[in-house]
Amino acid sequence: MKVLVVGGGAREHAIAEALKRSPQQVELYSAMSNANPGIKRLSVATLRAKETDLEAVTEFALKHGIELAVIGPEAPLCAGLADELLAAGVACVGPRRAVAMVECSKEFCRNLMAKYRIPGNLAYATFDDAKEAAEYIDSFPGDVAVKPVGLTGGKGVKVVGEQLRDREDAKAYAREVIERGIGGGRVVIEERALGEEFTVQAFVDGRSVVGMPAVQDHKRAFEGDRGHNTGGMGSYSQKDGLLPFLTQDDYDFALEVIRKTVGALREETGEEYRGVLYGQFMKGREIKLIEFNCRFGDPEAMNVLTLLESDFVEICAGIVEGGLSRRHVNFAKLASVCKYVVPKGYGINPAPPARISVDEEAIRREGAVLYYAAVNEENGEIYTTTSRSVAVVGVAESLAEAEKIAERAIGHIRGEHIYHRSDIGKRKLIEAKLERLRRLRGE
């Protein structure tokens, strides 16, 4: 089967590896804007183009007789790549634009949740007038989050008490979003959600929803969850599919929010959502939906796809043809810890591209799995870019052991201008999170 993977990050490397593990004979093709050596090595042919260049990607798919495309990032989905490929007769794991809107527009998402009374929604309002936004912020009874409506590559959301000092800051930022046209120039003002974030991802075939193990990502740049927000520095999952602060009821609630959203999307647009739906939730006094993503999370994909025991090609077939609930979807009952090596300054002022050395053999000997991210391979050398560089995943019976494997493995990636967070998955950080949550919940 000829399968195309779109995207050049560690998430897409994990997707490509999962496809290649299939007992079905997969001939892999790839399309990406960087030169990811891990994906390239698995591919028969690679298109080097922007993932949002719909014409180039579709032409490449047709030229190679691609039967199935798995689209990794949100930007091509929001640009309508699934629609283009489907029109050209290529089946897609990744939703059409009409339903990808659940991520592409934060306004669409909140309105959908309100209209269909989906639990977990936050108090919110949307504005394209800075004065009205300011009046709303002034009248709001608590702290707010200010979010551009459209995509901003993970850099647009600012929250009072985190990136914003107070209401005045929030009003100024809302004005900036509107006047500078950030994320389309409309802004959602939301109630600030407090607590511990967690991710639940699900395979979706338009109707049925199959959940994956819960994962916790770490957005902050530095140890102890300090510093600016990033795309995610690493993540962990537990062998029971839950998290130290997450009960089965919490997980079931989150999956129900996803299930109701899939139904609401069908009702609202007449389109079926086919792909992966990612819910980012906050557990505080209650569980609230922070946002949906219309794709796997990054780094969360590396946790769940490393644990996936079932045939991923079969799951993809279930997504595009329907009947997902009849397919076998099984994850190893093990803990996983993913850690990212990133360039110094990643997320604000990244170091210029530099060579790094990756001892793949030593990483394998540690028992870890390696996924290349936003790097370029040139003449056999690996160079960083402005984004995350390489991820390693440790898998083991216990979280402590998985963390040790990941930590030992990451030591085999060397370079002057890179760093990683060594605390992800460690007991000390998890205890601090549990204590914070207990205090918030008054327990």
Interface residues toward ligand GLY, by CB under 6 A: 217, 232, 293, 297-298, 300
Of all residues in the shown chain, the one whose CB is closest to ligand GLY is 297
Residue 76 CB neighbours (<10 A)? 27
Between residues 220 and 355, which has the closer beta carbon with respect to ligand GLY? 220
CA 331 to chain centre: 19
The distance of closest approach from Cβ of residue 42 to ligand GLY in the complex, given in angstroms and rounded to an integer, is 22
Between residues 283 and 327, which has the closer beta carbon with respect to ligand GLY? 283
Element (H, E) at 196: strand 196-205
The distance of closest approach from Cβ of residue 132 to ligand GLY in the complex, given in angstroms and rounded to an integer, is 29
The distance of closest approach from Cβ of residue 296 to ligand GLY in the complex, given in angstroms and rounded to an integer, is 7
The distance of closest approach from Cβ of residue 232 to ligand GLY in the complex, given in angstroms and rounded to an integer, is 4
Between residues 152 and 310, which has the closer beta carbon with respect to ligand GLY? 152
The distance of closest approach from Cβ of residue 293 to ligand GLY in the complex, given in angstroms and rounded to an integer, is 5
Give CA separation, 375 vs 87, 120, 218, 235, 320, in Å: 32, 37, 21, 20, 31
The distance of closest approach from Cβ of residue 276 to ligand GLY in the complex, given in angstroms and rounded to an integer, is 11
Between residues 298 and 403, which has the closer beta carbon with respect to ligand GLY? 298
Radius of gyration of the chain (CA): 21
Question: Is there a contact between 112 and 261 (Cβ–Cβ < 8 Å)?
Answer: yes
Q: How far apart are the first and last CA of the chain?
A: 54
Distance in angstroms (rounded) separating the CA atoms of residues 21 and 371: 15
Query: Residue 3: beta bridge partners?
Result: 28, 68
Between residues 58 and 216, which has the closer beta carbon with respect to ligand GLY? 216
Q: Is 167 exposed, middle or buried (0-12, 13-18, 19+ CB in 10 A)?
A: middle
Between residues 292 and 312, which has the closer beta carbon with respect to ligand GLY? 292
CA 190 to chain centre: 21
